[in-house]
Chain A
Amino acid sequence: MDYHSPASFAEASALAANASGTTRFLAGGTDVLVQLRSDLVTPDTLIDIKKINGVRDITRNADGGWTLGVAATGAEMSEHPELGRDWPGVVEAMDLIGSTQVQGRATLTGNLCNGSPAADSVPAMVAAGVTVTVTGPAGDREVAVEDIPTGPGRTSLDKGEVVSAVNIPARGENGGDAYQRFIPRTEMDIAVVGVGVNLRLDGDTITEARVSLGAVAPTVLLVEDAAKAIIGTSLDEAALDALAAAAEAACNPIDDKRGTIAFRTEVAGVLAKRVAKIAYARAKGE
């Protein structure tokens, strides 16, 4: 295994483009090292991006949006005094991943590029409308988070491409987001279902919404029908029931030891209602 620690993303991209065999990028390593140690994936080329300037930064931009470096950790996001006020759902989703020790290393970008359909931070990012900057041999492009995973463990990134920044939109007025997952324990488990909701209000009426489901399909889903079910409503009982029905209809889960298809589908509806209520209360400033 060749180890590289380039000084720029252009250099990281060139290293990956010219590498043969299996290439992995290393940020927090909480998936890459587990796969390496258990002989699941032994990279021929490992590219540590943490020597690149700015990769740990969490920056509020002039337009109110946020740029997160790809090695900013869950712990750093939770400790940030302002990020969680703008985007509590994104921060709480990241904070659910693993132990204190894992939080000290794990990153949004790693969670995304690991390609797990049960990744906790990904539905929250999809709901929030987060994009990532992808640096490749042809330069930079900006890609919506929902367009990165293509299946369990697979992404749409081409050879030589590396995620170089995470872009969270400006929160704006009267908005709120939330994320919850179901697990059979209280801590340190993988989502059986995860739901992220982000919405905006005009008075009591929802004017914009994005609903995302995790762990109920081969990839994290952006469920437009679930958003349509609550847009234009004040999240009354009828809207909540329509939201749950749309969430259930979008599910295409697997049966496994942590949850059956029927259970995951039902829980998706239940959680969608709960999470939407939290996002709504946050948007109201409650």
Chain B
Amino acid sequence: MSKFHVSTTVNGDSVEYLCDPRETLLDCLRDKLNLTGAKEGCGTGDCGACSVTVDGRLVCSCLMLGVEAEGKQIETVEGIADGDVLHPLQQKFVEYAALQCGVCTPGILVAAKSLLEKNPDPTEEEARYWLAGNLCRCTGYDKIIRAVMDTAAELREAS
């Protein structure tokens, strides 16, 4: 079976990989680019653990093929921190203990960052609906929502 050569941009870096057309973007990120932050939870777009943005749009990387990434701008959880300096969302997740096992956390960070870029002042209801596609089986969501809302407030004060 022929493989496809894909040139794309991940977290600002130009990258290339060869992939089988059946491989998802998630497979390519994890197995070819060694970016293992995005997780495969369900593999069917229900859990959000594989969330990334593609050209600024939040998507499940398990529901997109690796070949479709040609020429796109991909952002993953690995691009959120600035070197060793955590992004305010990551800092708040630590402060609020908004994670336990951590499998959902990369997807929730990517999704929450995408929310705050689109809407810097979300209501709690808007935040809960936005994150409805990110399942967490440990926390009960409350700490996650509090961390996101507090980050939003802090970022608004800083700007």
Residues of chain A having any CB pair with chain B under 8 Å: 1-3, 5, 26, 28-30, 33-34, 36-38, 46, 48, 50, 73, 75, 98-102, 104-105, 187-188
Contact = CB atoms under 8 A, between A and B. Distances in A.
B21 A29 contact: no
Interface of B is mostly: mixed
Interface residues of B, number: 31
11 contacts: A33-B45, A33-B62, A33-B64, A36-B22, A50-B68, A73-B57, A99-B45, A100-B131, A104-B57, A105-B64, A188-B46
A105 B58 CA distance: 9
A37 B68 CA distance: 16
Given A1-B21, A36-B22, A100-B58, A188 B45 contact: no
B24 A33 contact: yes
Q: Identify the interface centre among A3, A36, A46, A75: most chain B CB within 10 Å of its CB.
A: A3
Interface of A is mostly: mixed
B25 to A, nearest CB: 10
Contact of B51 (A28, A98, A101): A101
A84 B87 CA distance: 35
Interface in B65-89: 65, 67-68
B111 to A, nearest CB: 7
Interface in B82-133: 111, 114-115, 129-133
Contact of A188 (B51, B59, B67, B133): B133
Contacts of A33: 24, 45, 62-65
Q: Identify the interface centre among B68, B114, B115, B129: most chain A CB within 10 Å of its CB.
A: B68
Interface string B5-46: 000000000000000011010000000000000000001111
A2 B59 CA distance: 24
A3 B21 contact: yes
